[in-house]
Amino acid sequence: MTINRYLRLIAGTFILLSLAFAHWWHPAWLWFTAFIGFNLLQSGVTNWCPMITLLRNLGVPED
């Protein structure tokens, strides 16, 4: 798998987990959901994503 597929899988998983945690444990988990959304927004504007940097350092192939 490539970096872009991993990125989508990780972002989707984090969002769904944080929504589940907010529903079953504490609504403060919604701040984590907002943090993920903010990171997706800023990566669209700046073309830099911290998770992509981490995945590159772990040796995940680009294409």
Per-residue pLDDT tens over the stretch 15-46: 999 999 999 999 999 999 999 999 999 999 99
pLDDT score for 51: 92
Tokens representing 27 are: 């609504």
**pLDDT of 5 above 90:** yes
Q: What are phi and psi of 13, to 5 degrees?
A: -65, -45
Has residue 63 got a pLDDT over 90? no
End-to-end alpha carbon distance in the chain: 8
Measured CA to CA in angstroms, residue 47 lies from 50, 54, 63 at distances of 10, 15, 17
Residue-wise DSSP of 2-32: -HHHHHHHHHHHHHHHHHHHHHHT-GGGHHH
**pTM confidence score:** 0.84
